[in-house]
């Protein structure tokens, strides 16, 4: 005895065959001889030139005053062939014209409620959808849906494709709740039609998980993804990309729940499959390697992350061997530098930050990644005890982030807070009255650079406090309302450093 799903499958196949197999004229047909040249031509057309010639014959016959006869199925489906040719050519207007002609003849031949009309109705709806005629497209699809439901039942498998198209229109017109309802209906019907242990069911679980992501608890989405993954893993079919997608999605869910060891295991499985099908040096591996490294970092285990990141760098350097200064390489170098900094290895971090900076400054003089690299360099320099160079790098990062993201952005706020901490530390290191002709050469050079930027001439930027530097500092102090300095080279550098800082409007 045939099961319900088997019956549905057979009926779907039968309808498909009826739509694609050339049909001989009905018994008793009396085709108009004027149309025979077009019929012969369209059914023998295989090249664009032949299709265009068939269309010319069609136009000539119509101009000769011959109406389309409804008693010739070869003519009806021949018009469909011409419509499909224009679909491939991208001529939407002509496609619409010939689909409409064919649909009119189908209605006369089979009746307005025949399931044979469903294919042409869907094609016409797609044409109107492309033209942004959403109401027309929706009404046409709803008509096709009613025809199929009347002929085969409400939950027949043939309704699924129509429901999908209706859901897409709902999404395009902002009716997200309707779209979600239709997607849930599709999943329900597929669940009824497909055996639970089949690989096709894995696809259903995967799609259902995507829908649950919009309207259900995360646990339900993860449950469905695990079901799909189990079916994919136990199948022998070519479902490698689907397996990888699910493993990455499950890893992301585990990471969000702070289950980092679990996330790493998912990522290792995804990496093994990717290596097997793409090779050990394919650029697509980089994303998985970096995500795995990130989870090791979240476990406070930078040493485990380091080889994964270095492998990523080697893959990208090979990918961009003709363009060694590609920004993608700078991104991974920055990530490795960050990992060294988190592992309390500032020297290695400083070297890599500088390498990333050289690439980024060449490609994009102002970017969030460049600002983050400068700030990472500042932290590494600070941990080495060089607070003044750290402040300079951090200041550049602040100024850049204020322009890119605004002073109120979280990253700019955090970076500016660190800048203030550096200024406070510098102020403690340099007390008023401290003589610094040579001992703080870098710091003096920094001040001279800042004064020059403010269009106050300190003389040459050489790290020495000469008469012009003293005069420039006095000018700056008077502008800022500070006490004028009158003791020669006893310059209160703390005052200057504390005030010549980024001016950030809140």
Phi, psi angle pair for 466, to nearest 5°:
-105, -175
Q: Report which of residues 317 and 222 the model is more confident about.
A: 317
Residue 241: count other Cβ atoms within 10 Å of its Cβ: 11
Residues 325 and 425 reside in one and the same domain: yes
> Which of 394, 429, 464 is the last residue in one of the domains?
429
> Which of 389, 412, 429 is the last residue in one of the domains?
429
Domain assignment of residue 480, yes or no: yes
pLDDT at 455: 83
The residue-averaged pLDDT of 132-137 equals 90
Q: Per-residue pLDDT for 140 more than 70?
A: yes
Residues 352 and 399 reside in one and the same domain: yes
Using only C-alpha atoms, the chain has a radius of gyration, in whole angstroms, of 36
pLDDT at 204: 42
Of 345-354, 370-379, 472-481, which range is least confident? 472-481
Residues 357 and 402 reside in one and the same domain: yes
Residues 351 and 424 reside in one and the same domain: yes
Sign of CA dihedral 232, 235, 241, 243: positive
Residues 488 and 468 reside in one and the same domain: yes
Residues 454 and 484 reside in one and the same domain: yes
Residues 365 and 396 reside in one and the same domain: yes
In which domain, by residue range, is 382 found? 320-429
Q: Per-residue pLDDT for 458 more than 50?
A: yes
Contact 377, 350 (CB under 8 A): yes
State the pLDDT confidence band at 187, using cuts at 50, 70 and 90. low
Q: Per-residue pLDDT for 217 more than 90?
A: no
Residues 411 and 440 reside in one and the same domain: no
Looking at every residue in the chain, the average pLDDT score rounds to 77
Residues 324 and 424 reside in one and the same domain: yes
The residue-averaged pLDDT of 454-460 equals 85
Of 190-199, 247-256, 462-471, which range is least confident? 190-199
State the pLDDT confidence band at 506, using cuts at 50, 70 and 90. very low
Query: Rounded distance, CA 375 to CA 298, Å?
Result: 20
Query: Rounded distance, CA 190 to CA 228, Å?
Result: 14
> Which of 402, 429, 456 is the last residue in one of the domains?
429
Domain count, the chain: 2
- 282-315 pLDDT, tens digit per residue, is 999 999 999 999 999 999 999 999 999 999 999 9
pTM for this predicted structure: 0.51
**Chain Cα centroid distance, residue 4:** 41
Q: 378: domain CATH number?
A: 1.25.40.10
Domain assignment of residue 505, yes or no: yes
User: 9-25 in b/e burial notation, b at 16+ Cβ within 10 A?
Assistant: eebbeebeeeeeeeeee
The residue-averaged pLDDT of 245-270 equals 85
């Amino acid at each position: 005895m045939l099961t319900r799903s088997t019956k549905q499958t057979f009926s779907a196949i039968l309808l498909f065959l009826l739509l694609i197999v050339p049909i001989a004229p009905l018994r008793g047909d009396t085709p108009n001889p004027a149309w025979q040249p077009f019929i012969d031509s369209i059914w023998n057309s295989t090249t664009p030139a032949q299709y265009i010639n068939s269309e010319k014959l069609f136009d000539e016959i119509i101009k000769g005053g011959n109406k389309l006869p409804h008693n010739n199925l070869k003519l009806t489906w021949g018009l469909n062939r011409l419509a499909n040719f224009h679909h491939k050519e991208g001529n939407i207007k002509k496609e619409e014209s010939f689909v409409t002609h064919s649909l009119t003849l189908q209605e006369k031949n089979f009746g307005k409620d025949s399931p044979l009309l469903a294919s042409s109705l869907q094609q016409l709806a797609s044409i109107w959808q492309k033209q942004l005629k959403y109401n027309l497209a929706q009404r046409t699809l709803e008509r096709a849906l009613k025809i199929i439901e009347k002929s085969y039942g409400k939950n027949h498998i043939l309704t699924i494709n129509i429901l999908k198209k209706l859901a897409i229109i709902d999404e395009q017109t902002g009716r997200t709740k309707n779209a979600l309802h239709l997607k849930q209906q599709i999943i329900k019907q597929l669940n009824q039609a497909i055996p639970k242990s089949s690989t096709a069911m894995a696809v259903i679980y995967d799609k259902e998980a995507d829908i649950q992501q919009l309207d259900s608890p995360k646990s339900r989405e993860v449950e469905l993804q695990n079901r799909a993954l189990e079916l994919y893993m136990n199948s022998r079919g070519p479902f490698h990309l689907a397996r990888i997608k699910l493993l990455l999605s499950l890893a992301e869910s585990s990471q969000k729940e702070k289950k980092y060891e679990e996330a790493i295991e998912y990522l290792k499985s995804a990496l093994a499959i990717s290596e097997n099908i793409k090779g050990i040096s394919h650029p697509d591996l980089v994303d998985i390697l970096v995500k795995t490294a990130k989870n090791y970092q979240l476990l406070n285990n930078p040493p485990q992350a380091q080889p994964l990141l270095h492998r990523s760098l080697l893959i990208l350097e090979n990918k961009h061997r003709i363009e060694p200064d590609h920004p993608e390489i700078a991104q991974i170098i920055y990530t490795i530098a960050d990992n060294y900094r988190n592992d309390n290895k500032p020297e290695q971090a400083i070297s890599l930050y500088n390498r990333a900076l050289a690439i980024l400054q060449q490609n994009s003089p102002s970017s969030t990644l460049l600002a983050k690299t400068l700030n990472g360099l500042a932290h590494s320099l600070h941990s080495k005890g060089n607070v003044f160079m750290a402040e300079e790098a951090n200041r550049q990062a602040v100024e850049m982030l204020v322009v890119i993201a605004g002073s109120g952005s979280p990253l700019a706020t955090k970076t500016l807070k660190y800048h203030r901490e550096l200024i406070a530390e510098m102020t403690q290191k340099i007390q008023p009255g401290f003589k610094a002709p040579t001992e703080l050469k870098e710091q003096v050079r920094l001040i001279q650079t800042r004064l020059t930027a403010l269009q106050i001439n300190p003389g040459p930027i050489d790290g020495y406090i000469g008469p012009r530097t003293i005069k420039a500092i006095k000018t700056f102090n008077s502008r800022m309302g500070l006490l004028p300095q009158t003791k020669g080279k006893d310059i209160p550098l703390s005052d200057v450093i504390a005030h010549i800082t980024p001016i950030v409007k809140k």
